[in-house]
Amino acid sequence: MNSTGPLHGYRIVEFAGKGPGPLCGMLLGDMGAEVIRIERPVERGGRQASEEALDLVNRNRRSVVLDLRQPQARTAALRIAASADGLIEGFRPGVMERLGLGPDECLSANPRLVYGRVTGWGQTGPLAARAGHDINYLGLTGALHAIGPRDGAPVPPLNLVADYGGGAMYLAFGLVCGLLEAKQSGMGQVIDVAMTDAVSNLMTPIHGLHGAGWWKDRRGANLLDGGAPFYGVHETRDGGYMAVGPIEPAFFAEFIQRLGLSEDEFADRMNPANWPSHALPIRAAFRQKTRAEWEEVFAGSDACVTPVLSLSEAPSHPHNQARGTFVELDGLAQPAVAPRFSRTPGTLRSAPPIHGADGRAVLEEVGYAPEEIDKILQPV
């Protein structure tokens, strides 16, 4: 697990879960941290090794299987946490405490530990103990209300915003901030990441526009939500789509020229009252050519027009290929490490590990004797 990444030398213990925790672990692992993932025993009929290899978010990890229902396994988990710089857990409030692996126990064993917790609703508040998913957290923050067509229901943006942009990214940011502070103070602390907090924080610019009276509190009526015909998606003759975003005057002028229209048709284009009528000739123009033909028309321009690619198409785009945005490891194509560092780049070092592959090695590293390891790892 050698690395030159900026987090090389840091050890993170991740208690396996779903959603934001695993992506956070991937981000830190990609940047060179040693991430030890503590996983539950596989139940009968559970996932096979071939399926685990496809769970790309678990790359750059070491895997230890511990049955945390057993006292000796919980003790082993605490010892691993005591050897770490940071910790990731994404269970409902109180679960880690009931296991004897909460912040009090872990910080007592390791006062420098940065203990990262990510949940949908946070560790406190009337909804803290409730179940939820990305769409629920978006719903409570106003973000979901703002996304979707003017004449339709809100549209969930996959689970990119709350789970990943809010949960995983804010947890990774919080952990790195905590690690920097602990390096100065010698003291750890607890990070409470609520996806509702994080999504609300992501919405700060929109709240600013709304507070200033520049953002209408309804879908499809604003500059950046598809309300403007020059910032949205338009269908082509063959059923493809082009993403359009020429906001600035010079970009818009080039856009209209390449579209074969006249700027005279778009007087006072920033006035929302004109957007419905302005949309008609733009939509009609895009329907005259295929997506591939429009790609040729806008190639090399500053008109801010790109094709809407599918998941299978994206890795083959010339720009993505030139930058190595997607890479292959063990025959599996996947997104490359991001962001890029000039001197200490992160690396894609290892595929998702086989369940429990590193258990014996990790337990030896934290001081267990072979016979003790046998007892900890033996099936119950």
ω into 249 cis (within 30 of 0)? no
Q: Looking at the structure, tell me whether residues 365 and 300 fall in a common domain.
A: no
Q: Which amino acid is at 334?
A: Q
Angstrom distance (rounded) from CA 126 to CA 123? 10
Q: Looking at the structure, tell me whether residues 48 and 192 fall in a common domain.
A: yes
Residue 157 lies in a domain: yes
Annotate 85-133 with DSSP letters as a single string.
SEEEE-SPTTHHHHTT-SHHHHHHH-TT-EEEEEESS-SSSTTTTS---
Q: Which domain holds residue 275?
A: 232-308
Mean pLDDT of 12-25: 96
Q: For 89-101, how does the pLDDT look when each residue is reduced to its tens digit (9 = 90+)?
A: 999 999 999 999 9
Residue 1: pLDDT over 50: no
- Name every residue whose Cβ is closer than 8 Å to that of residue 170 and which is 6 or more positions away in sequence: 118, 193, 197, 198, 201
**Of the candidates 308, 342, 368, which is a domain's last residue?**
308
Spell out where 247-312 has E strands: 305-307
Mean pLDDT of 289-315: 97
Q: What is the CATH number of the domain that holds 280?
A: 3.30.1540.10
Q: Report yes or no: 112 and 182 within 8 Å, Cβ to Cβ.
A: yes
Q: For 48-89, how does the pLDDT look when each residue is reduced to its tens digit (9 = 90+)?
A: 555 666 799 999 999 999 999 999 999 999 999 999 999 999
Residue 61 lies in a domain: yes
Q: Looking at the structure, tell me whether residues 145 and 22 fall in a common domain.
A: yes
Closest CA to 223 of 203, 209, 235: 209
Q: For 202-222, how does the pLDDT look when each residue is reduced to its tens digit (9 = 90+)?
A: 999 999 999 999 999 999 999
Q: What is the CATH number of the domain that holds 358?
A: 3.40.50.10540
Q: Looking at the structure, tell me whether residues 273 and 152 fall in a common domain.
A: no
Please provide the average confidence, as pLDDT, over all residues in the chain.
95
**Of the candidates 308, 340, 369, which is a domain's last residue?**
308
Distances (CA, A) of 77 to 10, 355, 357: 17, 16, 16
Residue 144 lies in a domain: yes
**Of the candidates 249, 275, 308, which is a domain's last residue?**
308
| pLDDT for 2 | 46
Q: Looking at the structure, tell me whether residues 362 and 304 fall in a common domain.
A: no
Angstrom distance (rounded) from CA 193 to CA 195? 6
| pLDDT for 42 | 82
Looking at per-residue confidence, does 52 or 198 come out higher? 198
Mean pLDDT of 4-13: 95
Just list the catalytic residues.
133, 163
Residue 373: pLDDT over 50: yes
Q: Looking at the structure, tell me whether residues 29 and 60 fall in a common domain.
A: yes
Query: Per-residue confidence at 228, pLDDT binned at 50, 70, 90?
Result: very high
Q: What are phi and psi of 316, to 5 degrees?
A: -90, -5
The number of domains in the chain is 2
Q: Looking at the structure, tell me whether residues 24 and 136 fall in a common domain.
A: yes
Residue 336: pLDDT over 50: yes
Q: For 242-291, how does the pLDDT look when each residue is reduced to its tens digit (9 = 90+)?
A: 999 999 999 999 999 999 999 999 999 999 999 999 999 999 999 999 99
Adjacent-strand bridge partners of 45? none
Q: Looking at the structure, tell me whether residues 297 and 335 fall in a common domain.
A: no
Residue 320 lies in a domain: no
Query: Per-residue confidence at 364, pLDDT binned at 50, 70, 90?
Result: very high
Mean pLDDT of 338-351: 95
Q: Looking at the structure, tell me whether residues 177 and 62 fall in a common domain.
A: yes
Residues of the chain above pLDDT 90, percent: 93
| pLDDT for 44 | 56
Q: Looking at the structure, tell me whether residues 197 and 87 fall in a common domain.
A: yes
Residue 84 lies in a domain: yes
Residue 45: pLDDT over 80: no
Residue 380: pLDDT over 70: no
Q: For 148-182, how does the pLDDT look when each residue is reduced to its tens digit (9 = 90+)?
A: 999 999 999 999 999 999 999 999 999 999 999 99
Q: Report yes or no: 156 and 144 within 8 Å, Cβ to Cβ.
A: yes
| pLDDT for 378 | 84
Q: Looking at the structure, tell me whether residues 297 and 332 fall in a common domain.
A: no
| pLDDT for 54 | 79
Q: Looking at the structure, tell me whether residues 85 and 156 fall in a common domain.
A: yes
Mean pLDDT of 313-332: 95
